[in-house]
Amino acid sequence: MPFVVLVHPQIPPNTGNIARTCAATGTELHLVGPLGFEISDRYLKRAGLDYWPYVNLHYHQHLEDFRAFQENHGGRLIGFSVSGSCSYIKFQFQTDDWLLFGSETTGLPPEVLALCSATVYIPMAQPHVRSLNLSVSAAVGLFEARRQLGILEG
């Protein structure tokens, strides 16, 4: 099953909402620091409601820590970016993909994009809208990967 990775998230409610999505789908959530908030932030907890015990959460203080963990487990790094080279719908996801999402303000850093096996984007019909909310983007990407892999139902 794919993994969700948030690299330097800044807004607690977005991370809380993504954690809730991960809890509902049984998806591992990886947070890569530095974060723009404390893990104990009340807004983070409120957004995740009482689902935190069901989140398979991994915190990596630095990108290097995450890379060591990911390399040990294998799989491709798939970066979601407005500058991605392929629409996420046309991309063929695999069960051990790591779906990477960057911070709300800057997206994935160039050094992270350079590590990715592929970069994908979510098409926008309105050219003046650069991107979706981080929690929406993560849900869209995760559910498309799950749909393609035939694991939408639990």
**Residue 107 annotated in ligand binding:** no
**Residue 79 annotated in ligand binding:** no
> In angstroms, rounded to a whole number, what is the distance separating the alpha carbons of residues 57 and 39?
11
**Residue 131 annotated in ligand binding:** yes
Long-range interactions of 91-96: CB distance < 8 A, separation 24+? 91/118, 91/120, 92/148, 93/2, 93/144, 93/145, 93/148, 93/149, 94/2, 94/149, 95/1, 95/2, 95/149, 96/2
Binding site residue list for S-adenosyl-L-methionine = 102, 122, 131
Binding site residue list = 102, 122, 131
